Every structure is written in C-alpha cells, then in structure tokens.
Amino acid sequence: METAIISGKGGTGKSSVAAAFAALAEEVVVADCDVDAANLYILFHPENIEHRSFTGSREAVIDDTICDGCGLCVDYCRFDALSMAAGHAIVLGVFCDGCGLCARVCPQHAIEMEENCESTLCSGNFRYGQLVYGRLAPGEENSGKLVSMVREKARQHARDRRMNNIIIDGPPGIGCPVIASITGVDQVVIVTEPSKSGMLDLKRIWSLCKSLRLPAYVLINKYDLHIAQSKEIEAFCKANGIRLAGRISFDPIIVDAMVHCKTVTEWVPGSGIVSEIKTAYRKIFQETL
C-alpha cells in the first residue's frame, strides 16, 4: 500500500509526520519524494547507501569555431535561451529547456546537446526498513522523472523485502513533482495548518487529488495555533467529504526532536502529541475503508 503525505503549503510539518508514521509502522519503505529538498535522511541516517546517477536534462553548447552567426537558432528558440554576441550565438544556460531544436536547425551543425546535470537516486537501510531518496542536481528541472524513479525503487524494495507499507514524503506545491508523487497511490494524507495560507493551499491540493481520483485524509497540524481557522478547515473537509485523520497540537518539542535527529515518537514517546499522532496513524493505516 502506498500512502503519500503531502501538503500544498510548505512547512506544515509534513516530513515530521511522515517520519513519525514510519516509526509507528516499524517495517516500512520510505520514499522521500521531496527531491528538491530531501530531508528524511537527516533523521534516519541510512546505511549501506547505494547511489545511482541519472541525467535529467540536456543543454545546448555552441562551438564558436563553427558558428557563423546566422542567427537561425535564436529565431527558433522559444525559451529565449539564445542570443547573438560578437557575431556568434551564445546560450544562456539557465533558460535552456533542452529541447534540441537549435541543434536541429543549425545549418553549420555547430550546436551539440550536452548532458549537463547529474542527479542522484540514493537508497539505504535504516532502523525501520528502507529509505529511498533523490537528490536533484541544482537547477535541474526534470524532478518529476526523479520522483518516479524514487517511487519505482521503493516499490522494488517493498517487493524484495516483502513489506506492504510504502510511505511517500511528497514535495510542496501542486506541480509536476507533486503530481508524480501522488499519481496512482492508494491514499493521500494532506497535512495542513490553521492559517489562511494553509486553507488556500489545501483547497488547491484537494482539487488536484480530486482530479486524480485519490482518496484523501486531512490532518490538521498545529491545530491550536488558531482554533477558528482549524474549525474552518474541518468544515471544508466535511462539506467536501474528506476524512479528517486527526488534529495535532502545536508543540515546539517537534522541533526539538528534529534537532536531535529523532522522530517525535522516539523523542517523547509518552507525550500528548505522540498520542495524537498515533490516533491519526491508526485511522489512516488500520481503519478498514
């Protein structure tokens, strides 16, 4: 079973919740799909790490000795990644999308597409099972592809080690890496917080889940920071038939746990906040639908 923990808005406590769920599951494959800012390895210290590099995109490189400055590539480029300088075409790397059209149109064959960025897919075992995570090369765009690779690797581990549970820590937002993280999962847990921003982002991520027909839970973190706003979230869930997985109180101990590289369930096992997390866990993972 694949469960994706997502949030729309960043900083709602998604990774802390995902880590706590992994600890409660005990035997689990965790896929950290926030490939832009993968963080769970900090808490889980994976061992026997296996690295695999992959090339996500390509960039145009112009050979100045061949380029005769006709400017055709500049006309064809739709990403404004090419311009003319001192009689030659030059590439503005950050804007190049890697489509390769410039290389196709160049009459002098002066343009090559070079594989420039190296992202890595990492996987290692940790105290509750296996952690798979991606490290996107700086500025790389193809994060959806890396997310898909992380998920595939996680599924492979789950099969090999006969583990049923895959927990996905998803990225913030609603774009490509999020879509790649949740497409086809069995259930989605949206971790939100009681603020106007949290509410807006919840609505957006919910409409994405709906369009992908994914069963979703909402978990309200930092519940008591603004009770009225929390009630509004609950009303929204009720009106839209979204199941409420639970409420977690605001507690700086969550940050404390992180600083000590522990999940909150390990750091303060008997605390009120952990019992709130356990209640949510049972609802999401053990309640029959």
Q: Find the shortest distance in angstroms from Cβ 37 to other proteins.
A: 5
The answer to whether 205 touches 190, Cβ cutoff 8 Å, is: yes
Size of site (CB under 8 A) for other proteins:
63
Q: Find the shortest distance in angstroms from Cβ 45 to other proteins.
A: 12
- Judged by CB under 8 A, the chain residues 44 through 103 that form the site for other proteins are 58, 76, 78-79, 94, 97-101
Q: Which range binds other proteins by CB under 8 A, 24-32, 139-147, 160-168, 265-273?
A: 139-147
Q: Find the shortest distance in angstroms from Cβ 163 to other proteins.
A: 26
Nearest to other proteins of 158, 190 (CB atom) = 190
Nearest to other proteins of 163, 212 (CB atom) = 212
Residues that bind other proteins (CB under 8 A): 7-12, 15, 36-37, 39, 42-43, 58, 76, 78-79, 94, 97-101, 104-105, 136, 138-141, 143-144, 171-179, 193-198, 200-201, 204, 207-208, 211, 222, 225-226, 229, 250, 252, 255-256, 258-259, 261
